[in-house]
Chains A and B, each alone.
Chain A
Amino acid sequence: MTGDLERYLVVGAILFVLGAVGFFTRRNLIVLMLCAEMMLHGVSLTLVAFSRSHGNLEGQAFTIFILTVATCEAGLALAIILALYQKTNSLDVELWTELREADLPPPTLAEDAGLPAFVPPESQVFPTLTPAGVLPDVRRARASGGVDDAASPTADSPLEPPQAEDVIRTAVR
C-alpha cells in the first residue's frame, strides 16, 4: 500500500473515524458539533487527494461546497444549541433522550450505573468576580440627569431601569 494517493486516503479515513468516535461517545452538544466538523475535514482531505490524483479540479470544487455547507450547519446548529440550553440550562445531550421513538427502551445513563456523583475538583472551579461597592441607582440618575422621556427606552426594551439592575446583579453574582 505505497502511493501518494493512498496515504492521503488513510489519513482522511482516520480523521473521519476519530470524529465518529467522538460523536458517539461525548455528551456535550458543542463537542458533538466539533466532531461532526472533523468528519467533514476527513472527507475534504479525501476529495482533494482524489482531485490531484485524477488531475482535475472537481474534487477541489466539491470541497468548496463542503465548506459552504459546513458553515451553514455550524451557524444553524449553534443557534439550536443556544435554544436548547435556554430550556434546560445544560449542554448535556442525554437530557433529550425523551425525543426517542416511543417503542424504544430508555438508554442507560452514566449516572444510573451506580457511579458516584461528580464533584468538580478545586482546580476546575472558575474564579468569580467579587462584588464591588453599592449598585448605582439608575432611576434616580435618570430622573436628575436630564434624559428626556421620548428618547428613553420604552417598556419593551430590556434596558429599562429595573431590568438593568437585574442584569448588573446577575453579572456581579
Chain B
Amino acid sequence: MDWIGQHWLDWAALFLIAAGVWWLMPRARARPKAVGVLLALAGTGMLATRVDDLSAPLQETALFWLFAAAAIIGAVLMITNRNPVYSALWFAVVTLNVCGLFLLQYAPFLAAATVVVYAGAIVVTFVFVIMLAQQSGATAYDQRARQPLVATIACFALLAAVVGTLQYVAEPHRGSDDVAGSLRDSDVPQTLGAGSGEPRTTDSETLRISAVSPRLGETRLEVGSNPFSQLEDGAKREEMGRMHALGRSLFGDYLFAVELAGTLLLIATIGAIAIAPRRRGGTL
C-alpha cells in the first residue's frame, strides 16, 4: 500500500490519458474535441516528468519526448476519429514518429524500412480500400463506439499493470547489487537441484544478468544465442547505427528465417490475389 502511495502520480497520469481517450470516443452526441486532447496531453506530460531519464543528454531527451508525445497524441486521435480516412492519416503520423524513436535508438535502417513499408505502402493501400468501399460519405457505424468505457478501463488496467511491474523492477534500491546479493544469499541451487551447487550458481547468475537489463558498454553478455549479432564493446555504439552489422546478422544467423519470410510474402501475395473478389469478367 505504501508503494502504491508513492507512485500515485504515475497512476494519475495513466488515468488522465484514459479519460482523454474515453472523452474522445465517438458517440451519439459529440463532445468538444479539445478537452480530450488536452487531457491526453496532460497525462503524457505528467508521465514525462516521472519516467524521464535525468542523466541523458538534453537534446536526446527533448527529441524523445517530442516524438513520443506526437506518437501518443496521434494514436489517440487515430483510434477516436469518426472518419476512417483521417484515421489512416493519423496512423501515418504515428508511424513517422515511431520511426523517429527508431532513429534515436540507433536503428536507421529500420526507420527507413518502416517509412517505406508503412507510410508508403500500407497506408496508401488502406486509403485505396476506404475509397473503394466507402463511397457514400459518413456512415452510422463510424459514429458509435462499442462499449467505450469498459474497453478503456480494461486496456488501461493492463497498461497500469505493465508500468507498475516496470517500476517495481527498475526501482533504484533494487539495483543489480541488491538483486545479486539476494540471489546469492538465498539457497536457490539447493532447492532446485540436489548436490551440484556450482553450475547452478552460474545458471542463476546468467539469469540475473539477463533480468537486470545491462546498459551499453557496461556489461557484456557472456551467453548469446547469436554469435554474429554480438558486437565488440568498443565499437558497439558505432556498429549499432550501421547497416552492415544488421545485414550480417540477418543473412548470417537468420538466413533460414529470411528465406522463410520471403516464402511467406509469396504465399500471402498469391492468397490475396485468390481471395480478392472479382467481377464476372475477371477484373477486380
Contact = CB atoms under 8 A, between A and B. Distances in A.
Nearest to B82: A124
B63 interface: no
B155 A21 contact: yes
B79 A65 contact: no
Contact of A81 (B53, B133, B215): B133
Given A11-B71, A56-B230, A64-B113, A110 B144 contact: yes
Given A45-B98, A82-B132, A28 B250 contact: no
Given A8-B101, A25-B79, A110-B144, A90 B166 contact: no
Interface range on chain A: under 10, 10 to 19, 20 to 34, or 35 or more?
35 or more
B151 A24 contact: yes
Q: Which of A20, A28, A53, A83 has the most CB of B within 10 A?
A: A28
Interface string B213-236: 111110011001110011100001
B15 to A, nearest CB: 13
A63 to B, nearest CB: 6
Nearest to B163: A10
Interface stretch (A68-76, A98-106, A136-144): A68-76
Interface string B107-136: 101100110011001100110011011111
B28 A116 contact: yes
B129 A82 contact: yes
Interface string B249-284: 110011001000100110011011101110111110
Interface range on chain B: under 10, 10 to 19, 20 to 34, or 35 or more?
35 or more
Contact of B229 (A4, A6, A61, A67): A61
A13 B230 CA distance: 27
Interface in A104-118: 110-111, 115-118
B23 interface: no
Contacts of B154: 24
B1 interface: no
Contacts of B41: none
Given A13-B159, A54-B221, A79-B276, A22 B78 contact: yes
A57 B280 contact: no
A24 B146 contact: yes
Nearest to A29: B133
Interface in A12-34: 13-15, 17-22, 24-28, 30-31, 33-34
B179 interface: no
B87 A31 contact: yes
A7 B61 CA distance: 10
Given A91-B139, A126-B137, A158-B282, A56 B129 contact: no
A158 B137 contact: no
B63 to A, nearest CB: 12
Given A63-B107, A82-B276, A118-B144, 20 more contacts: A1-B50, A1-B167, A8-B101, A21-B79, A24-B147, A26-B79, A27-B141, A30-B84, A34-B78, A38-B75, A38-B94, A55-B220, A57-B249, A60-B107, A60-B110, A64-B110, A79-B275, A94-B146, A110-B144, A156-B280
Contact of B216 (A30, A37, A55, A76): A55
A27 B101 contact: no
A131 interface: no
B51 interface: yes
A25 B277 contact: no
A62 to B, nearest CB: 9
A90 B136 CA distance: 10
Given A57-B249, A58-B229, A110-B146, A158 B51 contact: no
B122 A76 contact: no
Nearest to A160: B281
A158 B71 contact: no
A13 B162 contact: yes
A56 B249 CA distance: 10
A57 B79 contact: no
Contacts of A10: 47, 51, 163, 166
